[in-house]
């Protein structure tokens, strides 16, 4: 009897300990952690640079055990760039040349939505990322990023307008913010936009790629190579960080970025995460905190396309933030979203990223702000995945440069 009593006590204690340790502080469930195998990346790296910590690159592979499918439900979009879910479950999509489309979750597409300001769609420019107002059901307001031609060249700009009741046009389209200075080039616009939990807009801008503009990513007096935080009227949002250097722009949230094409809020912490294109090597995932400097072009895990080192060829420096994760060789990470659905429980709080040169959707398992597993989905589709979002039906929806819209969900 006594031994049975002690056995019962031990069993109860083990159950209590298991319950207490079940959930990590980032919302992941330890009991659903997948088995980790060799890295999904088998191609030689471009550099011999060493990561700053274990798990910063080439983490072990994981595999979704739930039966899922990835189906192209539409194939006739024109260079789609951004996608977001509407309250009624349909999807609003930007097309690079300057129009929007609405799609049902079965792939029926609307006619092109017009009425937007003209875009400069040369190179990497055009109609880029978008988001809808948290009160869209009543005000029908849409916000988007685009490359705008101006007297001094072109620039990353933000506009807003009302989706008309007949859904054929955007009413009252107005440019609310321009990332200065303008530059006569067609690369590295950044271009993602989302609402934070305070009702303000977070916008990513690129450093425009040229040797003349690279240093501006480290200048607090320029809006290039930054995350900016603005109100819905385009003014600097209250509570923005103060940077130490003189002449700091009031809209700056973070600095030292190259070409950030993905933004997402962590569903548990509400913190901003970002994907960023590197040169040859050095694609990054960053956990972006206000007021911090993420290093480009002073530090990077990539090299120039010519094979030369970038700057001094250093990867770490005091006062400059390390990426949570990086790729070498690159996958060209673009739009991304955290999964917060219930249909595939093992995906809870995982990060899904569209990969352009990688031609797949990258799944990252994150625990305590560190990547612990990576999976490549839809690699057999041979598509450049430009953006991804979660629908109101808990499925994932992704668009590709080739004009496809995919639905990714449990079978």
Among 101, 268, 123, residue whose Cα is nearest residue 188: 123
Q: Is 188 a catalytic residue?
A: yes
CA dist., res. 376 & res. 364, Å (int): 9
Distances in whole angstroms, Cα of residue 204 to Cα of each of 106, 214, 269, 310, 401: 31, 16, 20, 22, 20
∠ at Cα 219 (214, 223), nearest 5°?
85
Task: Say which of 188, 257, 266, 277 is annotated catalytic.
Answer: 188
Q: List residues bridging with 195 in a β-sheet.
A: 201
Chain centroid to Cα 357, Å, comes to 16
Are the C-beta atoms of 66 and 406 separated by less than 8 Å?
no
Among 130, 224, 226, 122, residue whose Cα is nearest residue 173: 130
Provide the residue count of the chain.
411
Q: List residues bridging with 254 in a β-sheet.
A: 227
Report the catalytic residues: 188
């Amino acid at each position: 009897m006594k031994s049975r009593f002690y056995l019962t006590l031990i069993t109860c204690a083990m159950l209590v300990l298991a319950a207490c340790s079940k959930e990590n502080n980032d919302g992941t469930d330890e009991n659903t952690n997948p088995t980790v195998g060799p890295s999904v990346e088998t191609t030689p790296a471009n550099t011999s640079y060493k990561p700053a910590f274990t798990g910063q690159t080439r983490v072990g592979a994981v595999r979704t055990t739930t039966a899922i499918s990835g189906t192209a439900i539409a194939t006739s979009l024109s260079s789609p760039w951004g996608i977001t879910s509407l309250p009624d479950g349909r999807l609003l999509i930007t097309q690079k040349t300057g129009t929007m489309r609405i799609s049902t979750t079965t792939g029926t597409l609307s006619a092109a939505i017009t009425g937007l300001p003209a875009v400069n769609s040369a190179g990497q420019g055009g109609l880029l990322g978008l988001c809808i107002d948290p009160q869209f059901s009543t005000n029908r307001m849409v916000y988007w990023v685009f490359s705008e031609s101006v007297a001094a060249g072109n620039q990353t700009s933000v506009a807003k307008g009302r989706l008309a009741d007949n859904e054929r046009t955007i009413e009252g389209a107005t440019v609310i913010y321009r990332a200065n200075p303008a530059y006569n080039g067609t690369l590295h616009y950044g271009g993602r936009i989302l609402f934070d939990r305070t009702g303000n807009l977070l916008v990513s801008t690129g450093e425009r790629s040229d040797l003349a503009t690279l240093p501006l990513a480290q200048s607090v007096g320029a809006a290039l190579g930054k995350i900016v935080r603005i109100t819905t009227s385009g003014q600097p949002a209250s509570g923005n960080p103060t940077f130490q250097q003189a002449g700091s722009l009031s809209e700056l949230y973070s600095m030292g970025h190259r070409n950030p094409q993905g933004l997402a809020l962590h569903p548990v912490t509400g913190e901003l995460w970002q994907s960023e294109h590197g040169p040859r090597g050095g694609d990054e995932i960053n956990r972006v905190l206000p007021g911090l400097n993420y290093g480009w072009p002073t530090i990077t895990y990539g090299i120039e396309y010519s094979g030369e080192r970038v700057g001094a060829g250093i990867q770490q420096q005091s006062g400059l933030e390390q990426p949570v994760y990086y790729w070498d060789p690159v996958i060209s990470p673009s739009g991304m979203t955290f999964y917060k659905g219930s249909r595939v429980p093992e995906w809870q709080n995982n990060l899904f990223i569209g990969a352009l040169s990688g031609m797949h959707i990258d799944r990252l398992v994150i625990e305590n702000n560190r990547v612990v597993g990576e999976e490549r989905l839809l690699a057999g589709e041979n598509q450049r995945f430009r953006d991804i979002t979660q629908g109101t039906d808990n499925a994932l929806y992704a668009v590709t440069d080739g004009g496809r819209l995919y639905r990714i969900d449990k079978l």
